Amino acid sequence: MKLNEKELTKIAQGIRLLILDVDGVLTDGSIILDNEGNEFKSFHVRDGHGIKMLIRAGIHVAIITGRYSKVVERRSHELGITEVYQKSHDKRIAYRQLIEKYSIGEKEVAYIGDDIVDIPLLKRSGFPVVVADADDEVKAVAAMITKNRGGKGAVREICDFLLKAKGLWEDIIDEYSKI
């Protein structure tokens, strides 16, 4: 289902909500546990900055993940992501809640995933994106595959793409040149 850049840009222009998976998308998929039961995840700082830019530009950002982690709570709070659904074994439930809450259609949703559990939301969203190191079966349902791997700048790549497609990139750049 891979589309060319012009088709992707046209779809991206209408996106009002970006939904992210966590493990394998915001992280490289590694889960580090210590002997005291602490969990560690590594997040890419530029992914976080991209998310903050989207939120400032008025695009909603949400997380839907099958696991629960205090680290995800902390990181999403730092980034200003208020819609965080953890332990979502059926991600479609949280997806429907978000669409209803923001009164948007599925064509206005971008979803970034990496594994087969993400296929139902990828198939529903108007802009299905997978990271470069996603499972091959998942890549088959994506409109776009990032150049970067999960946890290594893939989310920032999509944030930048959305901002540029919506004509918001120059305003973002202008904000930084005034600092």
pLDDT tens across 1-26, in order? Answer: 667 899 999 999 999 999 999 999 99
- Two structure tokens written together for 166: 């919506």
Spatial separation of the C-alpha atoms in residues 103 and 4, rounded to whole Å: 29
Q: How confident is the model at residue 178 (pLDDT cuts 50, 70, 90)?
A: confident
Domain locations along the chain = 5-177
- Two structure tokens written together for 170: 């120059």
Do 54 and 61 meet the contact criterion of CB atoms below 8 Å apart?
A: yes
- Two structure tokens written together for 54: 């989207």
Instruction: Give the pLDDT of residue 90.
Output: 95
Query: What does DSSP say about strands 32-33 and 39-40: parallel, antiparallel, or unpaired?
Result: antiparallel
Instruction: Give the pLDDT of residue 179.
Output: 66
Spatial separation of the C-alpha atoms in residues 54 and 129, rounded to whole Å: 16
pLDDT at residue 71 greater than cutoff 80: yes
pLDDT tens across 84-115, in order? Answer: 999 999 999 999 999 999 999 999 999 999 99
**Residue spans of alpha helices (H) in the chain:** 5-13, 45-56, 70-79, 91-102, 119-124, 136-139, 154-165, 169-177
pLDDT at residue 58 greater than cutoff 70: yes
Q: What is the CATH number of domain 5-177?
A: 3.40.50.1000
pLDDT tens across 108-139, in order? Answer: 999 999 999 999 999 999 999 999 999 999 99
Instruction: Give the pLDDT of residue 144.
Output: 97
Spatial separation of the C-alpha atoms in residues 178 and 39, rounded to whole Å: 39
Instruction: Find the mean pLDDT for residues 137-157.
Output: 97
Instruction: Give the pLDDT of residue 65.
Output: 97
Taking the model in full, what pTM does it have?
0.95
